[in-house]
Amino acid sequence: MNALQERILKEGKVLGGGILKVDSFVNHQVDPKLMDECGRDFAKRFAQVGATKILTAEISGIAPALATAIHMNLPVVYARKSKPVTMPDQVYLTLAPSHTKGRMVELIVSPEYLANNEKVLIIDDFLASGQTILGLARLAEASGSKIVGIGTLIEKVFEGGRAALASLNVQIESIALIKSLDDGKIEFV
């Protein structure tokens, strides 16, 4: 069992409805040593894909993306969920459903930071339905970039997200694969 799985068992909380709360080490409070270990793992898994940028979603994907970027010596671009005044008028924008927010959210990237011909590695906290990652892929493709891989800390296998991403035809890696959250119990694959 890896360190992330151990931490999920120790501190993760099943809230029902397929929601796994990992706020104490990933989403609200971040354990930098654990993220560093996960980033090193992703860097090894994706060493051969030729990525030139890492793309993630605000806010929960930033910690694992940044840790991965450090080990791969790459910049991180994160899709904003609201457009700041500092962003140009012309942006890449898509909508994606948020499982935890219970509504559609915007994903916005400035063309200043995601340009044509980038080779994009998507790193995020969760792979559930795959819809947020598909939204990130749409942003990358709109910029003329190519997705070269997808990495997630936690994959909720029972939600079918990997199958939803199959059309992207890229390497998909998850550090902790969860088979079930039934009856409040966390079961790994």
Would you call 160 helix, strand, or coil by DSSP? Answer: coil
Contact between residue 155 and residue 125 where contact means Cβ atoms under 8 Å apart: no
Beta strands at 53-57 and 76-79: parallel, antiparallel or unpaired: parallel
* Strands of the sheet with 76-79, listed across from one edge: 76-79, 53-57, 119-127, 146-156, 171-180, 187-188
**Which of 56, 12, 58, 57 is closest to 34 using CA atoms?**
12
Query: What's the sign of the alpha-carbon dihedral 103, 133, 36, 115?
Result: negative
Q: Token pair of 2, please?
A: 């890896």
Output the pLDDT for position 89.
Answer: 85
**Adjacent-strand bridge partners of 71:** none
Q: DSSP class of residue 168?
A: G
7-63 per-position pLDDT tens digit: 999 999 999 888 999 999 998 999 999 999 999 999 999 999 999 999 999 989 999
Tokens, residue 32: 């930098």
pLDDT of residue 81: 84
Tell me if the pTM is above 0.85.
yes
CA distance 170 to 180: 25
Angle formed at CA 13 by CA 182 and CA 154, multiple of 5 degrees: 80
Give the tens place of pLDDT for each residue, 153-178.
999 999 999 999 999 999 999 999 99
- Residue where the block lists tokens 């991403």: 165
Q: Which band of pLDDT confidence, cut at 50, 70 and 90, is reported for residue 82?
A: confident
Break the chain into its structural domains and give their ranges.
3-188
Q: How far apart are CA 46 and CA 43, in angstroms?
A: 5
With 80 as the cut, is the pLDDT of residue 101 above it? Answer: no
Q: What pLDDT does residue 86 have?
A: 81
> Which of the listed CATH numbers 3.40.50.2020, 3.30.2230.10, 3.40.50.970, 3.20.20.450 matches domain 3-188?
3.40.50.2020
Answer whether residue 102 shows pLDDT above 90: no
Mean pLDDT of 95-112: 84
- Pick the closest to residue 10 from 176, 147, 179, 127 (CA basis): 176
Kindly give the pairing relationship between strand 92-98 and strand 103-109: antiparallel
Q: Residue 92: count other Cβ atoms within 10 Å of its Cβ.
A: 19
